[in-house]
């Protein structure tokens, strides 16, 4: 299937998300929620299990694995940069959070495991891959800071809600149909492995290089 480009406004509906396919490019407008913290994910689950209200809304929205640094100026927060962190660190949390928070988009870099992909397929959620090292590009999309929750945590771990405009390009790396570009690459690499090993063996036998 040929990839396409989408300009989407948050919060997202399930039909919008299921219309996206792995390899598509996305630009986002609206409010996103970001954090890079393991303790933050643990605290979200603790709140859910205890029936306590969370400090921000997630339904139809995002939980992006983006680190950020903010400062307070005259009582208002300003985010100086945001950049993706590795999502695989949060694999143990994501299936539960996708289902219980009603997330439509998660993202960062590196993808997520099969249990998370299954939850995304079931609920209608995509994984968006952010450009690594693209802090300047990502930060330029920030229009304002809506809220900063849990200030007892370090800057990177706080639960930050931002208003963004034209955030992207982001790649749909895992879609809501269960297709993962990461899995495609893994299978491709496994299929190529026997030939690569054969070439190496021949090179050793010939005493030369490939």
Domain count, the chain: 2
Tell me the mean pLDDT in the region 109-117.
96
Confidence band (pLDDT; 50, 70, 90) for 71? confident
Q: Are residues 23 and 106 in the same domain?
A: yes
Beta bridge partners of 1: none
Q: Are residues 30 and 120 in the same domain?
A: yes
Q: Are residues 129 and 144 in the same domain?
A: yes
Q: Are residues 166 and 200 in the same domain?
A: no
The per-residue pLDDT for 116 is 97
- Which residues form the domain of 123? 5-179
Compare 135 and 55 and report the one with higher pLDDT: 55
Backbone angles phi, psi at 7, to 5 degrees: -110, 115
The DSSP annotation for 178-198 comes to: S-BHHHHHHHHHHHHHHHHHH
As given in the structure block, the two tokens for residue 34 are 């970001």
First to last CA, the chain: 35
Q: Measure CA 157 to chain center.
A: 15
Q: Are residues 26 and 81 in the same domain?
A: yes
Q: Are residues 208 and 111 in the same domain?
A: no
Q: Are residues 93 and 141 in the same domain?
A: yes
Task: Pick the range with the lowest mean pLDDT from 55-59, 64-68, 129-133, 198-202.
Answer: 198-202
Q: Are residues 173 and 195 in the same domain?
A: no
Q: Are residues 29 and 94 in the same domain?
A: yes
As given in the structure block, the two tokens for residue 3 are 């990839």
Q: Which residues contact 42 (CB under 8 A, 6 or more apart)?
A: 93
Q: In CATH, what number is assigned to the domain containing residue 69?
A: 3.20.130.10
pTM for the model stands at 0.87
Handedness of CA 92, 93, 96, 102 (dihedral sign): negative
Q: Are residues 53 and 100 in the same domain?
A: yes
Query: Is 201's pLDDT higher than 90?
Result: no
Q: Are residues 146 and 204 in the same domain?
A: no
How far is 78 from 189, CA to CA, in rounded Å? 43
Q: Are residues 55 and 144 in the same domain?
A: yes
How far is 204 from 183, CA to CA, in rounded Å? 31
Helices 114-123 and 94-101 pack at an angle, to 10 degrees, of 10
């Amino acid at each position: 299937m040929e990839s396409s480009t989408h300009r989407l406004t948050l919060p997202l509906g399930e039909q919008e998300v299921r219309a996206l396919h792995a390899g598509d490019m996305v630009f986002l407008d609206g409010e996103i929620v970001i954090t890079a913290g393991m303790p933050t994910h643990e605290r979200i689950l603790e709140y859910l299990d205890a029936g306590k209200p969370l400090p921000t809304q997630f339904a139809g929205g995002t939980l992006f694995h983006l680190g950020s640094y903010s400062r307070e100026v005259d009582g208002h927060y300003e985010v100086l940069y945001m950049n993706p962190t590795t999502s695989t660190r949060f694999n143990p949390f994501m299936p539960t959070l996708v289902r219980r928070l009603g997330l439509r988009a998660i993202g960062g870099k590196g993808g997520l495991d099969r249990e998370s992909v299954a939850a995304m397929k079931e609920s209608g959620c995509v994984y968006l891959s952010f450009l690594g090292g693209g802090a300047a590009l990502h930060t330029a999309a920030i229009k304002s800071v809506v809220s900063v929750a849990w200030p007892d945590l370090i800057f990177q771990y706080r639960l930050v809600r931002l208003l963004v405009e034209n955030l992207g390009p982001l790649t749909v790396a895992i879609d809501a149909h269960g297709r993962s570009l990461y899995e495609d690459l893994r299978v491709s690499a496994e299929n190529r492995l026997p030939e690569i090993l054969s070439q190496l063996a021949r090179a050793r036998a010939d005493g030369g290089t490939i």
